[in-house]
Chains A and B, each alone.
Chain A
Amino acid sequence: MADKPTWKEYATAATIHEPGNATGQNTGDWRSERPVRKQELCDKCGICWIFCPDAAIFMNAEGYYEVDLYHCKGCGICVRECGKNAIEMVEEGE
């Protein structure tokens, strides 16, 4: 590839100097199903948030928990663990 760095352009010992730059990886692309929230049932308990292995759930300005679809891998833990049935899995493409 034309624009791959030369050996001089890599940081010494391939040390990575940009902390957390993995956020650029579109792991949301791995999904075959995605979680969809039903906000009217959500009680803002945060259980979905604390159980997400990918930190792909975040609290929005209103205090509800939203899914970061760029990173969500669609594992479904949040759906299973939600005490209010406020999330369900939906096939990608629907």
Chain B
Amino acid sequence: MGKRVGLEVSLAVSEAVKLARVDAIAAYPITPQTHIVEELAQMVADGDLDAEFIMVESEHSAMSACCGTAAVGARTYTATSSQGLALMHEMLFIASGLRLPIVMTIANRALSAPLSIWGDQSDVMAERDCGWVQLFAETGQEAFDLTLCTFKIAEDARVLTPAILNIDGFTLSHVVEPLELESQEDVDAFLPAYLPQVILDPGKPVTIGPVGFPEIYTEIKKQQDMALIGAYDVVLEVFDRFEKKFGRAYKPVESYKAEDAEILINIAGAVAGTARIAVDQMRGEGKKVGIIRPRLWRPYPFEDMRKAVKGAKAVAVVDRSLSFGGPGGPIASELRSCLYPLAEKPAVAGFIAGLGGRDITIEDFYTIVAEAEKVLDTGYTDEYKMIGVRE
């Protein structure tokens, strides 16, 4: 049976990792992920978590060591943020190319320069192409629940792909929230031990990571792509099993007051919470607004998004990262891509907000909705708009 607690979300994540009976952790500390790994280190030191915690000397080595542990069949976990994720960049592609089901929490943080320890989504958005399953949590409960789900998704024999769970740095990682922690017994039933398909074993020698000549490289990438696309069905299955076991339902895209909405706010992560308050207020004022929040980011939930925007006149996408000199924020670009083939589609107005730890306020959401409405009247005037910048 679950236990209701008030817990810092980072510690809830550690608790989930512990309940998942992770075998091996290789991690390097970086703000704001530190509480997760410190708590895990304490759990190992106290004998509460029976795992090998490799105190690597950099994030690149963290992901490298994770490849090693996963390759021998250990349930493997790591966590990082920002610069650490950027340092791992090379390794992310290799981990997914080698089809090693490593699970990683990212406490999303802005990228240097200038140095920022505060939250935004630029770290993970720079890794969209790395071939990992990617999810976004909004609440502490989600952070706990999705951690458990992520192991199950990644390790599924049909997926065998590493997976990222994003939690907003500070905004989610460092807040204390009420949540339900599940029992070891129940988690064991939901998430049994990892059953690897292929491992390094002298009894059955394999060669992992050979040279892939042009004649085969495309086919291996196709394999990888198909596994990631196919992960969508596994995600649904896992969410379904989770609901049956623990009573909390999750969908790839979360809609809030979206069915009859004229203006939709598309946003990922914890700031959707603020958006919810703004939407409730605006609804109270008679505005037909709603929220669509991708919980699943990779594989991109194309059909869910197309369904979710049906009937809306405009979608105001709020990105907490920016592709400089490009089409603005990634969530906006990808939504546009997703909707492009539709004969009837809403306008998509892109907004950049909440960079480097700047709060996105309720007033900001009012501005964003107003700007989106303007687009309906006068058409697009910018590729994207930066909200709250002092000009």
Contacts and interface: CB of A to CB of B under 8 A. Distances in A.
Interface stretch (A12-20, A29-37, A54-62, A74-82): A12-20
A7 B205 contact: no
B220 A10 contact: yes
A23 interface: no
Interface in B161-216: 197-198, 205-210, 212, 215-216
Interface string B247-278: 00000000000000000000000000000000
Contact of A16 (B210, B215, B218, B220): B210
Contacts of B220: 7, 10, 13-14
B48 to A, nearest CB: 34
A14 B206 contact: no
27 contacts: A6-B219, A7-B219, A7-B222, A7-B226, A8-B223, A10-B219, A10-B223, A12-B99, A12-B160, A12-B197, A12-B198, A13-B99, A13-B208, A13-B209, A13-B223, A13-B224, A14-B210, A14-B216, A15-B198, A15-B208, A16-B207, A16-B210, A17-B198, A17-B206, A19-B205, A19-B206, A19-B207
A16 B207 CA distance: 5
Contacts of B218: 7
Contacts of A4: 215
A47 B209 CA distance: 34
Of listed B197, B212, B219, residue having the most chain A CB within 10 A: B219
- Between A10, A13, A16, the greatest number of chain B beta carbons within 10 A of the residue's beta carbon is seen for A13
A44 B197 CA distance: 46
The 4 A-B residue pairs whose C-beta atoms are closest, nearest first, are: A7-B219, A16-B207, A7-B222, A19-B205
A93 interface: no
Contacts of B207: 15-16, 19
Contacts of B223: 7-8, 10, 12-13
A5 interface: yes
Interface of A: 4-8, 10, 12-17, 19
Interface of B: 97-99, 160, 197-198, 205-210, 212, 215-216, 218-220, 222-224, 226
A15 B98 CA distance: 8
B211 to A, nearest CB: 9
A15 to B, nearest CB: 5
Contacts of B160: 12
Given A5-B219, A7-B226, A14 B212 contact: yes
B112 to A, nearest CB: 33
Nearest to A17: B206
Given A13-B208, A13-B224, A17-B206, 7 more contacts: A4-B215, A12-B160, A12-B198, A13-B97, A13-B209, A14-B212, A14-B220
Nearest to A13: B99
B72 to A, nearest CB: 14
A6 B219 CA distance: 7
Nearest to A6: B219
Contacts of B215: 4
Tell me which of B197, B220, B222, B223 has the highest count of chain A C-beta atoms within 10 A of its own C-beta.
B223
A12 to B, nearest CB: 5
A11 to B, nearest CB: 8
A7 B227 CA distance: 12
A10 B209 CA distance: 13
A17 B205 CA distance: 7
Nearest to A20: B205
Contacts of A13: 97-99, 208-209, 220, 223-224
Nearest to B219: A7
A85 B20 CA distance: 66
Nearest to B220: A14
A13 B208 CA distance: 8
B234 to A, nearest CB: 15
Nearest to B217: A14
A15 B197 CA distance: 12
Query: Residue among A5, A6, A16 with the most chain B CB within 10 A?
Result: A16
Contacts of B208: 13, 15
A13 B101 CA distance: 12
Nearest to A11: B198
